[in-house]
A and B are shown apart, each in its own frame.
Chain A
Amino acid sequence: KQEVTQIPAALSVPEGENLVLNCSFTDSAIYNLQWFRQDPGKGLTSLLLIQSSQREQTSGRLNASLDKSSGRSTLYIAASQPGDSATYLCAVRRTSGTYKYIFGTGTRLKVLA
């Protein structure tokens, strides 16, 4: 059974810091991995999607990497801003025959001005 873990559960940093959020999964047979952002009381906003054949994806100040063999993904946020404060969730799709995502419990990020 696929299990997804995110560490740390919560993180508070001063504005301007570069930071790394971690996601690990127990079954390396994944089709893709998607990072989401969730603001309080809101739905999920897609940030980056990495296919299993890819090593990383970048969008602006965000960079996500994937190491399938070790069951890990990291989300790197450069030059953090107060507006980055949110919960960050990673989700994996297990195989090409299954479309559902298995989510981690998220990392709650607070960037202090």
Chain B
Amino acid sequence: GAGVSQTPSNKVTEKGKYVELRCDPISGHTALYWYRQSLGQGPEFLIYFQGTGAADDSGLPNDRFFAVRPEGSVSTLKIQRTERGDSAVYLCASSLKRSSYNEQFFGPGTRLTVL
């Protein structure tokens, strides 16, 4: 079956611009996660959705970052007034909440470069 997909795979933007990154989770997965991975580092948690609501957004670095999941499936991560420090790979993952294992399945990521 289809895994987690993310679009675009690469995004180059200029400092100060607005960007949207999209994630399509595995069909039927109710939980969705966004992580950010800087070069040479492990992924860092940003936000977790259960259904349509953000259950934990403690990892969002500041109010320029926002994410939505209006119908409980596709999610969009939105970054306003981008800064060079936002350059990273943004990873999305999904899991079945009712599974006690909570095994997370990751997409290929979106590489964001802010010039």
A: residues with CB less than 8 A from B are 4, 31-32, 34, 36, 41-46, 49, 51, 89, 91, 93, 98-106
A49 and chain B: residue at smallest CB distance: B103
Contacting pair A102 B104 (CB below 8 A): no
Bound complex: CA of A106 vs CA of B50, how far in Å? 28
Bound complex: CA of A105 vs CA of B42, how far in Å? 4
Contacting pair A102 B45 (CB below 8 A): yes
CB neighbours (8 Å) of A32 from chain B are 101-102
Q: For chains A and B in complex, what number of residue pairs have CB atoms within 8 angstroms?
A: 66
If A43-B106, A43-B108 touch, whether A100 touches B42 (CB-CB below 8 Å) is no
If A32-B102, A34-B103, A49-B101 touch, whether A101 touches B45 (CB-CB below 8 Å) is yes
Taking the closest CB of chain A, its distance from the CB of B84, in whole angstroms, is: 21
Which residues of B in the span 41-58 have a Cβ within 8 Å of any Cβ on A? 41-45, 48, 50, 55-56, 58
Contacting pair A100 B48 (CB below 8 A): yes
Interchain residue pairs with CB less than 8 A apart (5) = A32-B101, A43-B4, A98-B56, A99-B33, A103-B44
Most buried by B among A51, A89, A103, A105: A103
Taking the closest CB of chain B, its distance from the CB of A106, in whole angstroms, is: 6
